[in-house]
């Protein structure tokens, strides 16, 4: 979240995290920034860069969760012309772009096992090879990773490499959620409100009513600073009166008596997550009828294939969303798709 106000506040919890980041900035070591969504992980990563000896060099950010497994290699390591269909010219990856500076890998916990293995080599040896190239390139990059996941727990589950975690976690900075920074809530709210007043062309910020201040302090803020910013800015623009204190808030912008109760997509996701009930039993029966066999393994395999097809359709063939809906890892989903001959259809969609 590129917003200088992310680090506004004087609470002990926040200042401790900022001080730790400032101390780590001078060292050429990898750092992990841990925190819930909206706590300002990217701002801390930028602070680490700006206070480091690399401050004049590039700061490159990449959201790992936004990249499919097929794109991760191309984005991180780059590629040569002709490396794959559509690669008409060579392109540098994020590591080369960040050479001499800092590479910020947001949501690093979402990387696939294969991507983790390739990242480990770059972290350990400072070498990478572009897709379609034969010779390695040397890069000098400081890595700052960020996640809202419990990475040691992922290591125990086999979803994150222990050796990669060791190399990324020279220092770990854990950011406090906003609910643990109660003294900062009004300071942040007033800061966002003053900025929004300027954007709306108001001569001054008229303040919040007593009731609104109480509501702001009492709310749990699951979305942290990012959510607070949205709530405050929405309140001012809807209030529309620069002469009187803001006296109305809406924490949930989707709250409406006409809000759809159930979506087609979520209905499919819930069906995939739910234990076998009437629709699932019907699917089993249909699978058995189509297979025309009494073999239990064949019936189970057909049922599994039906569930995969229906979940992919309900998730609009977003394989990461489908994996989450089925409570399996992305790699496990890919294995299932290949086993049932669905991987080409899924990739084409």
Question: pLDDT tens, 187-204?
Answer: 999 999 999 999 999 999
Place of tokens 């109480």: 214
For residues 302-325, average pLDDT: 81
In a domain, 250, yes or no: no
What is the rounded CA–CA span in Å between residue 298 and residue 233? 57
> What is the token pair recorded at 101?
């500076």
Return the pLDDT at 304: 79
Kindly state whether residues 53 and 113 are assigned to the same domain: yes
Return the pLDDT at 2: 45
Given a cut of 60, whether residue 228 has pLDDT beyond it is yes
**Final residue belonging to a domain, choices 176, 193, 210:** 176
State what percent of residues in the chain have pLDDT above 90: 58
Given a cut of 90, whether residue 236 has pLDDT beyond it is yes
Given a cut of 80, whether residue 258 has pLDDT beyond it is yes
For residues 295-306, average pLDDT: 72
In a domain, 246, yes or no: no
**Final residue belonging to a domain, choices 188, 204, 239:** 239
Return the pLDDT at 253: 92
Given a cut of 60, whether residue 285 has pLDDT beyond it is no
Instruction: List the single range of 100-109, 219-228, 247-256, 309-318 with lowest mean pLDDT.
Output: 309-318
Return the pLDDT at 276: 52
Kindly state whether residues 50 and 144 are assigned to the same domain: yes
For residues 299-321, average pLDDT: 80
Return the pLDDT at 284: 55
In a domain, 252, yes or no: no
Kindly state whether residues 8 and 150 are assigned to the same domain: yes
Q: Kindly report the number of other CB atoms within 10 A of residue 185's CB atom.
A: 21
Kindly state whether residues 161 and 235 are assigned to the same domain: no
Kindly state whether residues 225 and 298 are assigned to the same domain: no
For residues 205-220, average pLDDT: 96
Return the pLDDT at 87: 77
Place of tokens 């950010």: 61
Kindly state whether residues 39 and 124 are assigned to the same domain: yes
For residues 170-182, average pLDDT: 95
pLDDT tens readout for residues 6-24: 578 889 999 999 999 999 9
In a domain, 248, yes or no: no
In a domain, 258, yes or no: no
**Final residue belonging to a domain, choices 157, 176, 195:** 176
End-to-end CA separation in angstroms for the chain: 31
CATH number for 211: 1.10.8.60
Kindly state whether residues 317 and 330 are assigned to the same domain: yes
For residues 242-254, average pLDDT: 95
* Residue 269 CB contacts under 8 Å (≥ 6 apart), including other chains: 311, 314, 315, 321, 325
Kindly state whether residues 234 and 313 are assigned to the same domain: no
Mean pLDDT of the chain: 86
Name the domain count of the chain.
Answer: 3
Kindly state whether residues 170 and 188 are assigned to the same domain: no
Kindly state whether residues 11 and 142 are assigned to the same domain: yes
- Specify the higher pLDDT residue, 332 or 162: 162
> What is the token pair recorded at 158?
């086999």
- Specify the higher pLDDT residue, 188 or 303: 188
| Helix axes 210-218 and 224-239, enclosed angle (nearest 10) | 160
Kindly state whether residues 285 and 159 are assigned to the same domain: no
Kindly state whether residues 188 and 317 are assigned to the same domain: no
In a domain, 259, yes or no: no
Expressed as residue numbers, the domain containing 325 is 264-348
CATH number for 157: 3.40.50.300
For residues 281-287, average pLDDT: 55
């Amino acid at each position: 979240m590129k917003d200088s106000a992310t680090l506004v506040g004087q609470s002990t919890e926040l200042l401790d995290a900022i001080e730790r980041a400032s101390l780590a900035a001078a060292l050429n070591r990898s750092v992990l920034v841990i925190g819930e969504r909206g706590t300002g992980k990217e701002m801390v990563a930028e602070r680490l860069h700006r206070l480091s000896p690399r401050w004049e060099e590039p700061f490159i950010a990449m959201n790992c969760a936004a990249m499919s497994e097929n794109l991760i290699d191309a984005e991180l390591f780059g590629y040569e012309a002709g490396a794959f269909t559509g690669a008409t010219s060579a392109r540098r990856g994020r590591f080369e772009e960040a050479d001499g500076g800092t590479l910020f890998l947001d949501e690093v916990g979402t990387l696939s096992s294969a991507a983790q293995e390739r990242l480990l080599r770059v972290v350990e040896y400072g070498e990478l090879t572009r897709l379609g190239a034969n010779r390695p390139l040397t890069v000098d990059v400081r890595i700052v990773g960020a996640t809202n996941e419990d990475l040691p727990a992922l290591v125990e589950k086999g979803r994150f490499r222990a050796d990669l975690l060791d190399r990324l976690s020279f220092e770990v900075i854990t950011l406090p959620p906003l609910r643990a920074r109660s003294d900062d809530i009004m300071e942040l709210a007033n800061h966002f409100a003053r900025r929004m007043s300027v954007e709306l062309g108001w001569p001054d910020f008229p303040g919040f009513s007593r009731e609104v201040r109480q509501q702001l302090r009492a709310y749990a803020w699951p979305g942290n600073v990012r959510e607070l910013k949205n709530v405050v800015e929405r309140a001012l623009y809807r209030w529309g009166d620069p002469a009187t204190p803001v006296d109305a808030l809406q924490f949930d912008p989707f709250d409406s008596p006409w809000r759809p109760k159930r979506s087609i997509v979520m209905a499919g996701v819930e069906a995939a997550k739910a234990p076998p009930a009437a629709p699932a039993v019907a699917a089993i029966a249909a699978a058995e009828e189509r297979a025309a066999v009494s073999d239990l393994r064949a019936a189970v395999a057909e049922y599994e294939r039906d569930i995969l097809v229906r979940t992919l359709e309900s998730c609009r063939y977003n394989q990461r969303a489908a994996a989450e809906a089925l409570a399996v890892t992305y790699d496990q989903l890919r294995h299932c798709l290949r086993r049932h001959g669905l991987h080409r259809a899924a990739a084409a969609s």
